[in-house]
Amino acid sequence: MKKLGVREGKIKKEKERQIFHFLVGIATILLLIYYGRGITIAGVFFTIIIGTLLINARFLGKRIGFVKWFEERFEREDALLPGWGSACYATGVLIPLTFIADTNGIAAAIFILALGDGVSTIVGRKGRIKIPYNKQKTVEGSVAFFLSSLIAYLFIGPAIIPLAALAAAVESIDFKIDDNLTIPIACTAFLMVVL
């Protein structure tokens, strides 16, 4: 079996991370649909608490096998803290759950975060046309974000077009804040006005 080079290993890890990102989002949407908003909020909230306790244990020097495996497999090397990306993602999912009453609106916001953001990362890394105001992002990634987000039409109908455009625009801007937070904030603000 051929061993991957450093670059190929990073690309593979990022793809796996984005697939996991998507699967967690879909699982959250299914939880929302089958058990309702209250149970889903509780589930995400307790996930954040458990994650915080596990990160704290790691800082205290405790070795927990699956935490180490998870971190090696899915955490970005440039993460602010261990578990930072996961914490931002869970918090980002909690934002629409907390502020939007409509189940379909919540599902659309989570779907955009889960699929749009993941697809934009995978496609954007291969893109060639840099966005003028953010050289870290590509036009191809933003277009992929927008197009993949349109699938959330199933949840909110035609309102998905301006929402997907807004979310893609927010994702393309470097706010110096994790986009797992900025995307759901923008989606939630939009949906609170529209729904």
Of 163, 171, 169, 168, whose CA–CA distance to 187 is shortest?
Answer: 163
Locate 56 and state its tokens: 């704290």
CA dist 87 → 21, 26, 68, 72 (Å) = 12, 17, 16, 16
What pLDDT digit, counting tens, does each position of 8-43 carry? Answer: 777 788 888 899 999 999 999 999 999 999 999 999
Rg (CA), the chain: 17
Q: What is the pLDDT of residues 125-153, one digit of tens each?
A: 999 999 999 999 999 999 999 999 999 99
Strand pairing report for 134-138 and 130-131: antiparallel
pLDDT of residue 4: 62
Query: In the predicted model, what is the mean pLDDT of residues 161-176?
Result: 97
Domain ranges of the chain: 6-194
pTM, full prediction: 0.92
